[in-house]
Chain A
Amino acid sequence: MIEKIVWSNFFVQLVAFLILFLLLQRYAFKPLFGIMEKRRQMVQEQMEGAQKNRTEADQYIEEQKQALQQARKDAFEIVEQAKTMGSRQADEIVKAAQSESTRLKETAIRDIEAEKNKAIAELKAQVSGLSVLIASKIIEKQVDEQSQKQLVDQYLSKVGNKS
């Protein structure tokens, strides 16, 4: 067996493999490893990007939630405000109407009073005139018209004060 070994084969193989190894390392493995490293970095970057996007999305959702909450609160406040303003306006209107009616009533009462006084005064004048006339007719010549009128007036004013 041993005597059949060709010893030069050993060195042929050694040199050939070393040359092949160096060539492969230089022209095949180096670019390949570079590309694989680049891909690894790319994947990592993309994963980081995805992570960042997710955090951002979460943040946006949170912001949207808060904005929605704020909008709800605002809307509620506006409705409340409108409600209170409406009731206040209604109150004002009712009050105004009430005061107006009171004023009208008072005016009417004053008018009525004035009319009544005017009517009474007129009646007084007429009654005094008439009674003088009647009295002068009844007791003609007994009393002169001047003193008679004075007497009746005196009497009537007493009556008027009592009424």
Chain B
Amino acid sequence: MKGVKSNSMDHLAPIIKIFGIEFDLSAIIMVVITSVVVFILARLAVRNLSVENPGKLQNFMEWVVEFVSSIIGMATDYKRGRIYLGLGLALIMYIFVSNMLGLPFSIVTEQHGDALPTVFGQELIIKGVPPEHLAWAWWKSPTADMAMSMALALTVIGLSHIQGLRHNRKHYLKHYFQPWAFFFPINLIETIAKPLTLGLRLYGNIYAGEVMIGIILGMGWIGLPALLVWQGFSIFVGAIQAFVFTMLTMVYIGQASIHEEGH
């Protein structure tokens, strides 16, 4: 089992230091790739837009739009929530593509010799305790990184607070003291917990999926059926997490900024 661990689980992130700031190269590469894939997909879908005779990709894209519309409809009032349709679409597409990208393969470079490999003349640095066998993973889901998942979560949670203050100030501020004033600390904890759970749920699911794939790969040929099953399950989990993230985004924005009568 020790071999399995060193082969698959302890891949390092290729980090370089520029002007004293650490940059995770794999993360930057994967973010760019994911964004480009999403953007090309969206552009292909709207390349030959037609009212009466939509192409296959346009149909698919319109289905996604309908799907996100139904999410908004479920989470909050659709009429007032429809301005977030673009955000929901971007989120669900970006997270879904992110989750899928890490599944099919990985790119790993290993250390040869004693010197650490360099990129742009900068040495790759190792955080924490270095393992015996040095290997760097260049290909992973952007959402399998805690900081990056949290970035998405904080973005939408921040948006919900901003929109709450802008469009629904009275009810938004009042809700911190509901049902009574001394509930304020509890409401504060809830406010802090929201982005944490939102980001960590996504990160945990996707990261665990990739770790699991690594472990199964370490099992060799015996693990092939398990790998197939787990890959399939990871696709399912990736889709569900994209849906859940978008859904919760709409729920939080709806709660904060859209005051429903009799609610």
Alpha-carbon separation in the docked complex, A25 to B83 (Å): 11
Decide if A14 touches B49 in the complex (CB within 8 Å). Answer: no
Contacts of A7 in B (CB 8 A): 22, 147
Main secondary structure of the interface of B (DSSP, over half): helix
Can you name the residue of chain B whose Cβ is closest to the Cβ of A35?
A: B49
Give chain A interface residues in 25-66, CB to chain B under 8 Å: 25, 27-29, 31-33, 35-36, 38-39, 42
Query: Once A and B bind, how many residue pairs between them come within 8 Å at the CB atom?
Result: 119
Contacts of A17 in B (CB 8 A): 35, 90, 94, 151-152, 155
Alpha-carbon separation in the docked complex, A26 to B142 (Å): 24
Contacts of B52 in A (CB 8 A): 39, 42
Decide if B128 touches A19 in the complex (CB within 8 Å). Answer: no
Given A13-B148, A13-B152, A42-B51, A32 and B24 contact (CB-CB distance below 8 Å): no
Contacts of B49 in A (CB 8 A): 31-32, 35
B14 to chain A, nearest CB (A): 10
B31 at the interface (CB under 8 A from A): yes
Count, chain B residues at interface, CB 8 A = 45
Count, chain A residues at interface, CB 8 A = 32
Binds A, one of B39-47, B167-175, B216-224: B39-47
Decide if A6 touches B45 in the complex (CB within 8 Å). Answer: no
A9 at the interface (CB under 8 A from B): yes
Given A8-B24, A17-B151, A33 and B42 contact (CB-CB distance below 8 Å): no
Can you name the residue of chain A whose Cβ is closest to the Cβ of B145?
A: A9
Alpha-carbon separation in the docked complex, A2 to B187 (Å): 26
Decide if A32 touches B147 in the complex (CB within 8 Å). Answer: no
Decide if A13 touches B39 in the complex (CB within 8 Å). Answer: no
B86 at the interface (CB under 8 A from A): yes
Can you name the residue of chain B whose Cβ is closest to the Cβ of A29?
A: B86
Alpha-carbon separation in the docked complex, A159 to B19 (Å): 180
A5 at the interface (CB under 8 A from B): yes
B23 at the interface (CB under 8 A from A): yes
Give chain B interface residues in 8-66, CB to chain A under 8 Å: 13, 15, 21-24, 27-28, 31-32, 35, 38-39, 42-43, 45-46, 49-52, 54, 58, 61-62, 65
B85 at the interface (CB under 8 A from A): yes
Can you name the residue of chain B whose Cβ is closest to the Cβ of A5?
A: B147
Can you name the residue of chain A whose Cβ is closest to the Cβ of B149?
A: A13
Pick the contact of B90: A20, A38, A42 (CB < 8 A).
A20
B contact set with A: CB distance below 8 Å? 13, 15, 21-24, 27-28, 31-32, 35, 38-39, 42-43, 45-46, 49-52, 54, 58, 61-62, 65, 85-87, 89-90, 93-94, 127-128, 142, 145-148, 150-152, 154-155
Extra contacts, 14 of them, besides A11-B151, A42-B51 (Cβ < 8 A), are A6-B13, A6-B23, A7-B147, A13-B31, A14-B154, A17-B35, A20-B90, A24-B39, A24-B86, A25-B90, A27-B46, A28-B42, A29-B86, A32-B49
5 contacts between A and B (CB under 8 A): A4-B127, A8-B22, A20-B35, A25-B90, A32-B49
A contact set with B: CB distance below 8 Å? 3-14, 16-21, 23-25, 27-29, 31-33, 35-36, 38-39, 42
Closest 5 CB pairs of A and B: A28-B42, A13-B151, A9-B147, A13-B148, A6-B24
